Amino acid sequence: MRDVAVRFGGIVALSGVSFDLPSQQINALIGPNGAGKTTLFNCLSRLYTPTSGDILFEGQSILSRPAHRIAEIGIGRTFQNLALFQNLSVLDNVRIGSHCRTRGDYISDSLALPWSRSTEKEIDHKARQIIRYLDLQSVMHRRVGDLPFGTQKRVEMARALAADPKLLLLDEPAAGLNHGEVDELGDLIKHVRDDRKLTVLLVEHHMSLVMSISDTVVALNFGRKIAEGTPAEVQNNPDVIAAYLGTDQ
Ligand SMILES: Nc1ncnc2c1ncn2[C@@H]1O[C@H](COP(=O)(O)OP(=O)(O)OP(=O)(O)O)[C@@H](O)[C@H]1O
């Protein structure tokens, strides 16, 4: 992020925010409600365009790229309130994730041209692999809307991973999960990072999860970066303590 600012009319949601995400590390973005975390995530996944500043991915600006072409360069995300197709099966949701990495187009798919059929096979194979990887085989053919929230979150992660991201953006992955599920999630994020050599950025309010799995933490308040460092450094930063306790420095 290079000096990124976002304004909505008179509201300054982000201002002068710069930081790097070290590759293959788990990075967390924290801050009180309204600090600008979701806005920043939406800029990274191109749902929002910054008012000023730039965002580079592997040295290239991503700002000329529309949101629907962000997965193909290796940026995947999950959403705070889930963005799954509730009426589709787990398998179909995950298949949609791997579709962006293929060369399918409407005409070849409609005519079921031979190479389009082999692409379909590839998509199916890939989706089943990811489903096994995230231990979702037993619910693979179930309608997503009928599954418990914790399982749906796992499906969303499977769908994001099916696109083979290099950078995985996780928007409040622990929200709505119980203690045991949060512990499992922490292990899963670490395992996925190690195994698939991913860079992770997570927005999270669950501080014990952030502190236990993150390599680096960036803290925002009122749209500005107020701290950056290891979890211990950020946790002990007076500006961060003040932001969370709501006291003036
Ligand atoms: N689309 C929008 N239009 C107008 N204002 C917005 C919009 N999105 C966010 N804001 C404002 O920008 C500021 C930052 O909001 P944002 O949702 O990014 O914070 P957050 O850190 O993600 O908060 P939370 O932890 O509650 O999700 C807030 O003042 C919010 O009201």
For ligand 1, the distance from its centroid to the CA atom of residue 174, given in whole angstroms, is: 19
**Confidence (pTM):** 0.88
- What is the domain class of 1-74+165-248 according to CATH? alpha beta
For residue 80, give the ligand 1 atom closest to its CA: 27
The complex's ipTM? 0.95
Parallel, antiparallel, or unpaired for β 167-171 and 75-77?
parallel
Instruction: State the Cα–Cα distance between residues 118 and 126, nearest whole angstrom.
Output: 12
pLDDT greater than 50 at residue 72: yes
For residue 8, give the ligand 1 atom closest to its CA: 4
For residue 48, give the ligand 1 atom closest to its CA: 1
Beta-carbon neighbour count of residue 242 at 10 Å? 14
Instruction: State the Cα–Cα distance between residues 129 and 47, nearest whole angstrom.
Output: 29
**Residue whose CA is closest, atom 6 of ligand 1?**
8
CA dist 89 → 102, 109, 125, 170 (Å): 21, 21, 16, 22
Task: Give the domain ranges of the chain.
Answer: 1-74+165-248, 82-160
For ligand 1, the distance from its centroid to the CA atom of residue 38, given in whole angstroms, is: 7
Radius of gyration of the chain (CA): 19
**Mean pLDDT score of the chain:** 89
For ligand 1, the distance from its centroid to the CA atom of residue 136, given in whole angstroms, is: 33
Predicted confidence (pLDDT) per residue in 122-153, tens digit: 888 889 999 998 999 999 999 999 999 889 98
Q: Is 36 in the pocket of ligand 1 (CB under 6 A)?
A: yes
For ligand 1, the distance from its centroid to the CA atom of residue 101, given in whole angstroms, is: 31
**Residue whose CA is closest, atom 4 of ligand 1?**
8
Instruction: State the Cα–Cα distance between residues 131 and 115, nearest whole angstrom.
Output: 24
pLDDT for 235 equals 92
pLDDT for 116 equals 60
For ligand 1, the distance from its centroid to the CA atom of residue 40, given in whole angstroms, is: 9
Which element (helix H / strand E) includes 17?
strand 11-17
Predicted confidence (pLDDT) per residue in 88-100, tens digit: 999 999 998 877 6
Query: What angle is formed at CA 193 by the lines to CA 189 and CA 199, rounded to 5 degrees?
Result: 110
**219 contacts 30 by C-beta, under 8 angstroms:** yes
Q: How many helices (H) and strands (E) does the chain have?
A: 9, 11
